[in-house]
Amino acid sequence: MAYVRENYNDTKSMNAVVDVTRHSMRNLFEPILLLYLTLDQDEKRFSLIYWRRNGSGGLVTPDVIFADIEAAKWQQILAIVEKSHLGIELYKIKAYIRRRIEDCIASGKHEKQMRFLSRF
């Protein structure tokens, strides 16, 4: 946690911390995200950090809609952000996350349509 306090404004360092917590120390992901938010509420820097894991994170069957998986990951991140006591200070970050969720949902709908149409 001290490392986050000292390096929250360094995107490279934060990406390394977030990557480790997502893969090896999952129980620290939420506390680190909440700590980061208390230190920095800048939407631009927040958007440069890889808060969600790349890929599906497990075994994938052919009928999986990847955009739906990504939307669910962003919804989990939003749920953590909403636990913060900062309120209005996080408005832009919450809006950014909501846009990501909306984009994923739209992409998922398109992917479902394309799969349906490819049957004919």
Higher pLDDT, 104 or 65: 104
Residue numbers of the domain that contains 89:
2-117
Note whether 104 and 67 are within 8 A (CB): yes
Q: How many domains does the chain have?
A: 1
pLDDT on residue 55: 54
Alpha-carbon distance values, 89 to 3, 77, 82 (Å)? 23, 17, 11
Written as one string, the DSSP assignment of 15-56 is HHHHHHHHHT-GGGHHHHHHHHHHH---HHHHHTS--S-SS-
The C-alpha torsion from 92 through 42 and 48 to 85, rounded to 10°, is -70
Note whether 78 and 101 are within 8 A (CB): yes
pLDDT on residue 54: 62
* pLDDT tens column, 46-85: 999 999 876 555 556 777 888 999 999 999 999 999 999 9
What is the pTM assigned to this prediction? 0.87
